[in-house]
Chains A and B, each alone.
Chain A
Amino acid sequence: GENVEQHPSTLSVQEGDSAVIKCTYSDSASNYFPWYKQELGKGPQLIIDIRSNVGEKKDQRIAVTLNKTAKHFSLHITETQPEDSAVYFCAASMGSGGSNYKLTFGKGTLLTVNP
Protein backbone atom coordinates (compact mmCIF):
# COMPACT_ATOMS: atom_id res chain seq x y z
CA GLY A 1 0.00 0.00 0.00
CA GLU A 2 0.88 3.66 -0.07
CA ASN A 3 3.46 5.03 2.36
CA VAL A 4 3.88 8.74 3.00
CA GLU A 5 6.95 10.15 4.73
CA GLN A 6 6.88 13.71 6.09
CA HIS A 7 9.74 15.93 7.25
CA PRO A 8 10.53 17.67 9.48
CA SER A 9 8.52 16.50 12.46
CA THR A 10 8.92 19.90 14.12
CA LEU A 11 9.69 23.28 12.63
CA SER A 12 10.20 26.55 14.43
CA VAL A 13 10.43 29.84 12.51
CA GLN A 14 10.34 33.53 13.25
CA GLU A 15 7.29 35.50 12.28
CA GLY A 16 7.63 36.70 8.71
CA ASP A 17 9.97 33.89 7.66
CA SER A 18 9.03 31.12 5.27
CA ALA A 19 8.31 27.52 6.24
CA VAL A 20 8.73 24.47 4.03
CA ILE A 21 7.44 20.98 4.77
CA LYS A 22 8.28 18.06 2.52
CA CYS A 23 6.60 14.74 1.84
CA THR A 24 7.45 11.72 -0.24
CA TYR A 25 5.11 8.96 -1.34
CA SER A 26 5.68 5.45 -2.60
CA ASP A 27 2.78 4.55 -4.88
CA SER A 28 3.12 6.03 -8.35
CA ALA A 29 -0.64 5.55 -8.82
CA SER A 30 -1.37 8.28 -6.27
CA ASN A 31 -2.57 11.41 -7.99
CA TYR A 32 -4.12 13.60 -5.31
CA PHE A 33 -2.06 15.33 -2.62
CA PRO A 34 -3.86 17.45 0.00
CA TRP A 35 -2.40 19.34 2.92
CA TYR A 36 -4.26 19.72 6.19
CA LYS A 37 -3.84 22.05 9.14
CA GLN A 38 -4.87 20.75 12.52
CA GLU A 39 -5.16 22.95 15.57
CA LEU A 40 -5.14 21.47 19.03
CA GLY A 41 -8.33 19.57 19.81
CA LYS A 42 -9.84 20.11 16.38
CA GLY A 43 -10.31 18.13 13.21
CA PRO A 44 -8.02 18.65 10.20
CA GLN A 45 -8.84 21.42 7.77
CA LEU A 46 -7.89 21.31 4.12
CA ILE A 47 -5.63 24.25 3.29
CA ILE A 48 -4.51 23.38 -0.22
CA ASP A 49 -4.37 20.40 -2.54
CA ILE A 50 -2.77 19.48 -5.82
CA ARG A 51 -3.50 16.90 -8.47
CA SER A 52 -0.92 15.11 -10.54
CA ASN A 53 -1.64 17.03 -13.72
CA VAL A 54 -0.34 20.18 -12.05
CA GLY A 55 3.19 20.95 -10.84
CA GLU A 56 2.47 23.90 -8.59
CA LYS A 57 -0.50 25.59 -7.00
CA LYS A 58 -0.65 28.78 -4.99
CA ASP A 59 -3.24 30.34 -2.73
CA GLN A 60 -2.11 33.63 -1.20
CA ARG A 61 0.70 32.79 1.26
CA ILE A 62 0.45 29.05 0.73
CA ALA A 63 1.85 27.06 -2.18
CA VAL A 64 2.31 23.40 -2.96
CA THR A 65 4.72 21.89 -5.45
CA LEU A 66 4.64 18.38 -6.86
CA ASN A 67 7.39 16.38 -8.51
CA LYS A 68 5.80 13.19 -9.83
CA THR A 69 9.05 11.78 -11.14
CA ALA A 70 10.70 12.00 -7.75
CA LYS A 71 7.43 11.27 -5.93
CA HIS A 72 7.64 14.17 -3.58
CA PHE A 73 5.55 17.23 -2.82
CA SER A 74 6.10 20.22 -0.59
CA LEU A 75 4.13 22.85 1.28
CA HIS A 76 5.47 26.39 1.31
CA ILE A 77 4.15 29.04 3.67
CA THR A 78 5.48 32.55 3.20
CA GLU A 79 5.30 35.52 5.58
CA THR A 80 4.41 33.23 8.46
CA GLN A 81 2.20 34.52 11.24
CA PRO A 82 1.69 33.22 14.79
CA GLU A 83 -1.75 31.95 13.80
CA ASP A 84 -0.05 29.60 11.33
CA SER A 85 1.21 27.63 14.33
CA ALA A 86 -0.41 24.18 14.16
CA VAL A 87 0.26 20.61 13.07
CA TYR A 88 0.36 20.17 9.31
CA PHE A 89 -0.32 16.84 7.62
CA CYS A 90 0.33 15.85 4.05
CA ALA A 91 -1.62 13.01 2.46
CA ALA A 92 -1.81 11.04 -0.75
CA SER A 93 -4.67 9.33 -2.51
CA MET A 94 -5.72 7.87 -5.83
CA GLY A 95 -8.78 8.77 -7.81
CA SER A 96 -8.01 12.48 -7.94
CA GLY A 97 -9.49 12.97 -4.49
CA GLY A 98 -12.78 11.26 -5.16
CA SER A 99 -14.62 10.07 -2.13
CA ASN A 100 -14.07 6.38 -2.81
CA TYR A 101 -10.33 6.56 -2.31
CA LYS A 102 -8.77 6.59 1.12
CA LEU A 103 -6.10 9.04 2.18
CA THR A 104 -2.73 7.96 3.50
CA PHE A 105 -1.33 10.56 5.89
CA GLY A 106 2.17 11.60 6.78
CA LYS A 107 3.09 11.73 10.45
CA GLY A 108 2.66 15.46 10.73
CA THR A 109 4.81 18.54 11.30
CA LEU A 110 4.40 20.75 14.33
CA LEU A 111 4.98 24.28 13.09
CA THR A 112 5.66 26.98 15.65
CA VAL A 113 5.82 30.59 14.53
CA ASN A 114 7.54 32.75 17.10
CA PRO A 115 6.43 36.40 17.35
Chain B
Amino acid sequence: GAVVSQHPSWVICKSGTSVKIECRSLDFQATTMFWYRQFPKQSLMLMATSNEGSKATYEQGVEKDKFLINHASLTLSTLTVTSAHPEDSSFYICSPGGPTQQFFGPGTRLTVL
Protein backbone atom coordinates (compact mmCIF):
# COMPACT_ATOMS: atom_id res chain seq x y z
CA GLY B 1 0.00 0.00 0.00
CA ALA B 2 0.91 3.66 -0.27
CA VAL B 3 3.00 5.42 2.35
CA VAL B 4 1.22 8.27 4.10
CA SER B 5 2.70 10.27 6.93
CA GLN B 6 1.15 12.67 9.39
CA HIS B 7 2.89 15.13 11.61
CA PRO B 8 2.69 15.48 14.50
CA SER B 9 1.50 12.09 15.70
CA TRP B 10 0.19 13.69 18.85
CA VAL B 11 -0.14 17.22 20.15
CA ILE B 12 -1.35 18.86 23.35
CA CYS B 13 -2.32 22.51 23.21
CA LYS B 14 -4.04 25.13 25.30
CA SER B 15 -7.57 26.23 24.60
CA GLY B 16 -7.66 29.13 22.15
CA THR B 17 -4.49 28.24 20.30
CA SER B 18 -4.21 26.92 16.74
CA VAL B 19 -2.72 23.63 15.68
CA LYS B 20 -1.53 22.59 12.24
CA ILE B 21 -1.48 18.96 11.13
CA GLU B 22 0.49 17.94 8.05
CA CYS B 23 -0.31 15.00 5.82
CA ARG B 24 2.09 13.79 3.17
CA SER B 25 1.63 11.07 0.58
CA LEU B 26 5.17 9.90 0.12
CA ASP B 27 5.03 7.69 -2.93
CA PHE B 28 2.12 8.86 -5.03
CA GLN B 29 0.39 12.06 -6.04
CA ALA B 30 -2.98 12.62 -4.44
CA THR B 31 -5.32 14.86 -6.35
CA THR B 32 -7.96 14.37 -3.67
CA MET B 33 -7.50 14.49 0.09
CA PHE B 34 -10.06 13.49 2.67
CA TRP B 35 -9.83 14.56 6.31
CA TYR B 36 -11.56 12.52 8.97
CA ARG B 37 -12.15 12.95 12.68
CA GLN B 38 -12.59 10.04 15.04
CA PHE B 39 -13.78 10.31 18.63
CA PRO B 40 -12.97 7.50 21.09
CA LYS B 41 -14.74 4.24 20.30
CA GLN B 42 -16.51 5.78 17.34
CA SER B 43 -16.28 5.51 13.60
CA LEU B 44 -14.49 7.82 11.21
CA MET B 45 -16.46 10.91 10.32
CA LEU B 46 -15.59 12.76 7.15
CA MET B 47 -14.87 16.42 7.78
CA ALA B 48 -13.93 17.71 4.36
CA THR B 49 -12.72 16.84 0.90
CA SER B 50 -10.14 18.86 -0.93
CA ASN B 51 -8.75 18.77 -4.42
CA GLU B 52 -5.29 20.05 -5.17
CA GLY B 53 -5.38 23.77 -5.85
CA SER B 54 -9.07 24.14 -4.98
CA LYS B 55 -11.04 25.09 -1.92
CA ALA B 56 -12.14 22.26 0.31
CA THR B 57 -15.72 21.02 0.48
CA TYR B 58 -16.90 20.63 4.05
CA GLU B 59 -19.43 18.17 5.39
CA GLN B 60 -22.55 19.45 7.06
CA GLY B 61 -21.88 20.64 10.57
CA VAL B 62 -18.13 21.16 10.08
CA GLU B 63 -17.09 24.81 10.41
CA LYS B 64 -14.91 25.79 7.48
CA ASP B 65 -13.52 28.81 9.31
CA LYS B 66 -12.45 26.66 12.22
CA PHE B 67 -10.90 23.78 10.30
CA LEU B 68 -8.73 25.29 7.60
CA ILE B 69 -7.58 22.91 4.91
CA ASN B 70 -4.81 23.63 2.46
CA HIS B 71 -4.02 21.25 -0.38
CA ALA B 72 -1.35 23.21 -2.16
CA SER B 73 0.47 20.30 -3.73
CA LEU B 74 -0.19 16.73 -4.79
CA THR B 75 1.84 15.36 -1.89
CA LEU B 76 1.02 17.71 0.96
CA SER B 77 -2.18 18.76 2.68
CA THR B 78 -2.59 20.56 5.98
CA LEU B 79 -5.43 20.84 8.46
CA THR B 80 -5.32 23.75 10.87
CA VAL B 81 -7.60 23.70 13.88
CA THR B 82 -8.05 27.35 14.79
CA SER B 83 -8.95 28.59 18.27
CA ALA B 84 -9.04 25.03 19.54
CA HIS B 85 -11.40 24.07 22.35
CA PRO B 86 -11.51 20.93 24.50
CA GLU B 87 -14.36 19.55 22.38
CA ASP B 88 -11.97 19.56 19.39
CA SER B 89 -9.89 16.90 21.13
CA SER B 90 -9.99 13.95 18.78
CA PHE B 91 -8.02 11.70 16.45
CA TYR B 92 -7.56 13.35 13.05
CA ILE B 93 -6.78 11.16 10.06
CA CYS B 94 -5.97 12.18 6.52
CA SER B 95 -6.75 10.02 3.55
CA PRO B 96 -5.19 10.72 0.17
CA GLY B 97 -7.13 9.26 -2.69
CA GLY B 98 -5.40 6.90 -5.08
CA PRO B 99 -6.70 5.83 -8.48
CA THR B 100 -8.58 2.82 -7.20
CA GLN B 101 -8.59 3.10 -3.41
CA GLN B 102 -8.05 5.48 -0.54
CA PHE B 103 -5.15 5.27 1.81
CA PHE B 104 -5.04 6.45 5.39
CA GLY B 105 -2.45 8.25 7.42
CA PRO B 106 -1.43 7.06 10.88
CA GLY B 107 -3.49 9.77 12.56
CA THR B 108 -2.82 12.71 14.86
CA ARG B 109 -4.08 12.69 18.43
CA LEU B 110 -5.09 16.23 19.44
CA THR B 111 -5.72 17.03 23.08
CA VAL B 112 -6.91 20.52 23.93
CA LEU B 113 -6.58 21.51 27.57
Contacts and interface: CB of A to CB of B under 8 A. Distances in A.
Contact of B104 (A43, A100, A107): A43
A108 B49 contact: no
Contact of B100 (A44, A98, A103): A98
A78 interface: no
Contacts of B97: 98-100
A100 B32 contact: yes
Count class of interface residues, chain B: 20 to 34
Contacts, number: 56
A40 B31 CA distance: 29
Nearest to B60: A1
Contact of B46 (A36, A44, A102): A102
Interface string B79-113: 00000000000000100111111111111010000
Contacts of B67: none
B44 A46 contact: no
Contacts of A106: 43
A49 B103 CA distance: 13
A42 B106 contact: yes
Contacts of B34: 102-103
B99 A108 contact: no
A44 B93 contact: yes
Contact of A46 (B1, B6, B42, B96): B1
A44 B104 contact: yes
Nearest to A87: B41
A40 B52 CA distance: 31
A115 interface: no
Contacts of B56: none
A105 B42 CA distance: 10
A99 B105 CA distance: 15
10 contacts: A34-B101, A43-B6, A45-B104, A46-B101, A49-B101, A97-B102, A98-B100, A99-B31, A106-B43, A108-B42
Interface of B: 1, 4, 6, 30-32, 34, 42-44, 46, 49, 93, 96-107, 109
